[in-house]
């Protein structure tokens, strides 16, 4: 009997996923519980395991985008396949090359071909998440241009439409220019996670009043403390003592004093979070992801280091789930890891604040009337001015600076 392998449903608003890779080759013998492929959505990577034993037949190759619940292969429990130790290229016919473009009617100089508009959306083809967004924002779906497959509306389309109605209209070109490939150009499909990153960043800049304020912190006290205790810390807790635990602890203490920086905006309401779920930006081969350290305000230094280490490893191995990246209240991004001296981080919606850490550099500073060389780091706080005033933002960074330059105020539970 043949058992279909279906593209999984990985979120109520996600209608399309990408086959990242097959872990078994076409025609391989698989056992129930074996991992057979990885699926990538615009939010996370999901492993799929075989539900039956038998011979695997692959009908959709790696790299192809498919609708959720569509058939991508099957397992025949009455057939015997070949032994397979791992993944290899499936013997599936490659997609046909794109056909040559059809000749177009002559156009007037300086004009471009009009693009066919997406068909209007109707209630019948709205997902539950989109229908909820339409109702809550009192939007007529037929007035919104869908960017999903076959012109379907996404939740982001609805929210962008709502934001666009209240924002000043900007004169733009009716169509975007299309690049004409030349020898040496190479096209590859944009990964879904990169599309999601782009969508969220553009959404943040279009909907929030983002400002950035800066300060600098003398890292000598933290560096001396870390140098003195890192070996004992690692021996006791089997985890390295990094700067991230100091910054995470300092941020939670500063957020307790300035709750607006830990809050969100929902429609016309301010939502204050009396807990501290800190997102930690992690760079991966497929893009930047932000797993969340939940309950960071109640964690010890060792617990923070362990949690960061676990999510960072999952991120780099592509094992993060949607749950791992949902629900943060504030984000820390460490561009200093890559050598960045100064940057302006972009908000991670619906959060209202994000801290940018940067490279530690020896600089000449005035200390008690004398010029000294100190290890300095620039800090940047990007914030949503709709909920956070400049005074609050500056006070947050000043509080953070004080805690890090006097680390005994952090409650050094590992000493």
d(CA 217, CA 236): 29
Closest to 40 in 3D by CA, of 224, 284, 342, 203: 284
Taking each helix axis from N to C terminus, what angle separates 390-405 and 243-257, rounded to the nearest 10 degrees? 140
Secondary structure (3-state) at 254: helix
d(CA 372, CA 407): 20
Catalytic residue among 3, 229, 273, 385: 385
Q: Which two tokens stand for residue 127?
A: 């997902």
Catalytic residue among 123, 389, 402, 413: 389
Q: Tokens 């870390």 belong to which residue? A: 226
Q: Which H or E element spans position 151?
A: none
Residue 352 dihedral angles phi and psi, to the nearest 5°: -110, 0
Q: How many residues in total does the chain contain? A: 415
d(CA 255, CA 397): 10
Q: Which two tokens stand for residue 123?
A: 């209630």
3-state helix, strand, coil in the chain (%, to 5): 30, 25, 45
Q: Tokens 């460490």 belong to which residue? A: 334
3 catalytic, yes or no? Answer: no
Closest to 252 in 3D by CA, of 359, 329, 356, 352: 329
Q: 40 vs 12, 17, 21, 71, 316, CA distance in Å?
A: 15, 6, 9, 16, 14
Closest to 288 in 3D by CA, of 299, 296, 280: 280
- Cis? peptide before 187, omega within 30° of 0: no
DSSP state of 326: S
Strand partners, 211: 383
385 catalytic, yes or no? Answer: yes
d(CA 346, CA 324): 20
The residues annotated as belonging to the active site are: 385, 389
């Amino acid at each position: 009997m043949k058992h279909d392998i279906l593209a999984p449903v990985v979120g109520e608003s996600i209608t399309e996923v990408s086959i990242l890779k097959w872990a078994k080759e076409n025609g391989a013998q698989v056992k129930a519980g074996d991992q057979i492929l990885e699926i990538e959505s615009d939010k996370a990577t999901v492993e799929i395991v075989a539900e039956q034993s038998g011979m695997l037949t692959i009908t959709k190759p790696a790299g192809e985008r498919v609708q959720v619940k569509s058939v991508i292969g099957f397992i025949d429990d009455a057939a015997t396949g070949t032994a397979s130790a791992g993944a290899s290229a499936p013997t599936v016919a490659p997609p046909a090359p794109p056909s040559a473009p059809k000749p177009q009617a002559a156009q007037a100089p300086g004009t471009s071909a009009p693009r066919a508009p997406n068909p209007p959306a109707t209630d019948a083809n709205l997902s539950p998440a989109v229908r909820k967004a339409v109702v809550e924002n009192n939007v007529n779906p037929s007035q919104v241009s869908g960017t999903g497959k076959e012109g379907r509306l996404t939740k982001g389309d609805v929210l962008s439409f709502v934001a666009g109605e209240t924002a000043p209209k900007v004169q733009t070109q009716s169509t975007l220019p299309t690049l004409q490939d030349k020898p040496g150009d190479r096209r590859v499909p944009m990964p879904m996670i990169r599309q999601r990153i782009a969508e969220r960043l553009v959404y943040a800049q279009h909907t929030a009043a983002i400002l950035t304020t800066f300060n600098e912190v003398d890292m000598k006290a933290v560096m001396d403390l870390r140098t003195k205790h890192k070996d004992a810390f690692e021996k006791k807790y089997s985890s390295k003592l990094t700067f991230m635990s100091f910054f995470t602890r300092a941020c939670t203490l500063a957020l307790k004093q300035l709750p607006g920086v830990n809050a969100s905006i929902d429609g016309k309401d301010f939502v204050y979070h009396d807990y501290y779920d800190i997102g930690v930006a992690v760079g991966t081969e497929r893009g930047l992801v932000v797993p969340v350290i939940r309950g960071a305000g109640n964690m010890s230094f060792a617990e923070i280091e362990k949690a960061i280490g676990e999510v960072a490893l999952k991120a780099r191995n592509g094992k993060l789930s949607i749950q791992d990246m949902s629900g943060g209240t504030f984000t820390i991004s460490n561009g200093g890891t890559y050598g960045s001296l100064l940057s302006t981080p972009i908000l991670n919606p619906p959060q209202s604040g994000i801290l940018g850490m940067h490279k530690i550099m020896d600089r000449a500073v005035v200390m008690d009337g004398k010029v000294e060389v100190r290890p300095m780091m620039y800090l940047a706080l990007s914030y949503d001015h709709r909920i956070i005033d400049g005074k609050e933002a500056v006070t947050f960074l000043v509080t953070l600076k004080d805690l890090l330059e006097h680390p005994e105020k952090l409650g050094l539970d590992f000493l």
